[in-house]
Amino acid sequence: MKEQEYINDLKEIKDIMNRSSRFLSLSGLSGISAGICALIGAYFAYDILFNIGYDRNFIGEKKINALVLIGVLTLVTAIVSALYFTLNEAKKNNQKLWDLQAKRLLINLFIPLATGGILTLSLVEKGFIGLAAPLTLIFYGLALVNASKYTNSELRGLGIFEIILGLLASQFIGYGLWFWIVGFGFLHIAYGCYMYFNTKK
């Protein structure tokens, strides 16, 4: 009898530690929706990069501007859709979306992410377009690894995959879009599905 009490105590302690230090409302659907946004964005980027419908001489600044615009739009829709599903999940769990844990998660996510984003933009501006894919993947992966301490620990695995993919991409400059599709599209969807089915129990 005493033993059962202690086991319950330990369970409760673990639960309190988790709830108080981690943001647990990340939904698997958020990952899936972000992945789908990435794939749609990649489709438009592909169109601009390779479609013959465009003038072959239409390269340089205009093309890069269009690509950056697509990138930003993709990022925004991915964030908004992920936020929507997270909000739903938080409501279901009766948790507040904006609390200490969420704040901590976002700060720790955005420090590496913003560093990588700014670095990539300034390099692209100087003409190192080929570095965009590996750098974004690597910094995104680092951001996820860093943020995973403050949310579901599975995020760490996704981050490590993104880093590996980014390093690989640095060996195959020129195929950046394909690495993007795998990293931001398929990996997100795979992670989202994994989370969705694993946390439902």
Partner 1 sequence: MKDLLNDLNKAFENKVRLGIMAALVVNEYLDFNSLKELLGVTDGNLASHLKSLEKSEFVSVRKEFLNRKPNTKYAATEEGRIAFSKHIKAIENLLK
11 versus 92: smaller Cβ distance to partner 1: 11
Alpha helices in the chain (DSSP H): 2-21, 28-50, 61-92, 100-125, 132-147, 154-169, 176-180, 187-200
**Hey, what amino acid is at 200?**
K
Half-sphere exposure of 95 (CA within 13 A, CB side): 20
97 versus 121: smaller Cβ distance to partner 1: 97
Binding interface with partner 1 (CB under 8 A): 3, 6-7, 9-10, 12-13, 16-17, 19-21, 99-100
120 versus 151: smaller Cβ distance to partner 1: 151
For residue 186, what is the DSSP state? I
Residue 102 Cβ vs partner 1, minimum distance, rounded to whole Å: 13
Residue 19 Cβ vs partner 1, minimum distance, rounded to whole Å: 6
Residue 69 Cβ vs partner 1, minimum distance, rounded to whole Å: 40
94 versus 171: smaller Cβ distance to partner 1: 94
Only one residue has tokens 């879009």, namely 177
Angle, helices 61-92 vs 100-125, to 10°: value is: 170
Residue 23 Cβ vs partner 1, minimum distance, rounded to whole Å: 13
